[in-house]
Amino acid sequence: MIWVIEAKALPDFRLGVTFSDGTEGEIVLRDFIARDTRQVVTVLRDPLAFSALRVDMDTVVWDNGFDLAPEFLHAQTRAHSAA
């Protein structure tokens, strides 16, 4: 299993992430956040709310309790790196 060991918010709704397998890179969440209509996600459209994140257990968690599976984040990093 792969997990997030470090993450930081970057401008324009991006994350800088390092994973347990040594993969590191950027994940662009701008479109995901813009399209998702769940309130727990729409709150993250505010750059301050988006930047209020931490690594908890094995993934990225925002102060409002929202998290994304580490496998999803890893796949997004790989897809972003391949582009």
Specify the CATH number of the domain 4-82. 3.30.2020.10
Q: Which long-range contacts (CB under 8 A, 24 or more apart) does 62-70 make?
A: 64/40, 65/40, 66/40, 66/41, 70/1, 70/2, 70/3, 70/4, 70/19
Per-residue pLDDT tens for 24-49?
999 999 999 999 999 999 999 999 99
Q: Report the distance separating Cα 66 and Cα 78, nearest Å.
A: 22
Q: Where are the domains of the chain?
A: 4-82
Q: What's the predicted TM-score (pTM) here?
A: 0.88
> Please, what is the Cα angle at 74 between 70 and 79, to 5 degrees?
150
